[in-house]
Amino acid sequence: MALTLTYPEGGMLVIGGTGSVGGGIVRALAKAGVPLAFTYRGNKEKAEAFETELRSEGAKVWALAMDMGDTGSIEAAMERVVAECGGIHGLAIGAGPMVSFEKLMDFPVEEAVRFVNEDAMGYFRLFHAVTPLLRARGGGSITTCSTFANRKILVYDGISPLSKGSVEAMVRYVAAEEGPNNIRCNAVGIGWIQPGNQDFGQIPPKPDVEPEDQLGRMLVLMREIVDMTKIRRNGTPEDAGNLFAFLASNEASYLTGQIIDIDGGLAL
């Protein structure tokens, strides 16, 4: 007999449905029959096309514009899920602000403050808004993305774990404090996730001199990831989506406070 994922009554809110990770989450949950709203920040055309595609396949989905820096925008998105789905039983966060690639101490203080406010504090706003709704319905799940870089030092990638370390601490505290309310909270440490299969051989070797531009530093980081990844391929949106879908399901009802890396063994 095949394993079938089941979910509580109501729907879910997925943050960042037009990105690689967020899109994978939306597809996996829609495939499992979960009604949901997914958010986008700027790409309305892509979001509406994605909504139309999924609806043509029979999914109950709604695309919503939302800003992680705006508490009112967040609350409005959750109210939409409640209105459309009869309640909200889960939040899945598959998005965050773009980050530049620098050595940590080369980041301007103002840029670091901006990033942490948009990233870690954006996650806090989302957790803070959904927790009362989950308490009121007798429980639910929060699943958020983090980064494998909290466990593996990578060149030019210090600013992301500076913020995501706070997110992982929040996950553990919410799991501990809200467990008696039957609210589960977990994080997924994202590795290299992109559609299709990247030819690792196309990533150039590390240069002998330190690169001076963003593209050069990004290529050095990618080469380092390639060299250390044990499963010799990139992760796909489907890989990420399947894990998020499981963590939000009834079948994961005893899992909370966990940080699960999906990185092909990179952090080993």
| pLDDT at residue number 1 | 66
Chain center to CA of 47: 17
Query: Range with the lowest mean pLDDT among 97-101, 188-192, 257-261?
Result: 97-101
Domain count, the chain: 1
Within a domain: 224:
no
The count of other CB atoms within 10 Å of the CB of residue 101 is: 22
pTM of the model: 0.94
pLDDT exceeding 70 applies to what percent of the chain? Answer: 100
Within a domain: 218:
no
Q: Are 29 and 245 in contact (CB under 8 A)?
A: yes
pLDDT in tens, 157-214: 999 999 999 999 999 999 999 999 999 999 999 988 888 877 777 777 777 778 778 8
Joined together, the tokens standing for residue 79 give 């109210």
Q: Are 260 and 186 in contact (CB under 8 A)?
A: yes
Within a domain: 203:
no
| pLDDT at residue number 217 | 84
pLDDT in tens, 40-55: 998 999 999 999 999 9
The letter for the amino acid at 139 is: G
- The domain in which residue 186 lies consists of 11-195+233-262
| pLDDT at residue number 132 | 98
| pLDDT at residue number 59 | 96
Within a domain: 173:
yes
| pLDDT at residue number 105 | 94
Within a domain: 1:
no
Identify the band that residue 219 occupies on the pLDDT scale cut at 50, 70 and 90. Answer: confident
Identify the band that residue 221 occupies on the pLDDT scale cut at 50, 70 and 90. Answer: confident
Higher pLDDT, 202 or 266: 266
Within a domain: 216:
no
Write the CA distances from 238 to 28, 37, 261, integer angstroms.
Answer: 7, 18, 15
Which sign does the torsion angle of CA 202, 206, 209, 211 carry?
A: positive
Region label for 33, one of left (φ > 0), alpha (ψ between -120 and 50) or beta (otherwise): left
Query: By CB neighbour count within 10 A (0-12 exposed, 13-18 middle, 19+ buried), where does 30 fall?
Result: buried
CATH number, domain at 184?
3.40.50.720
d(CA 224, CA 136): 46
| pLDDT at residue number 121 | 96
Within a domain: 37:
yes
What average pLDDT does this structure show over 55-82?
Answer: 96
Within a domain: 44:
yes
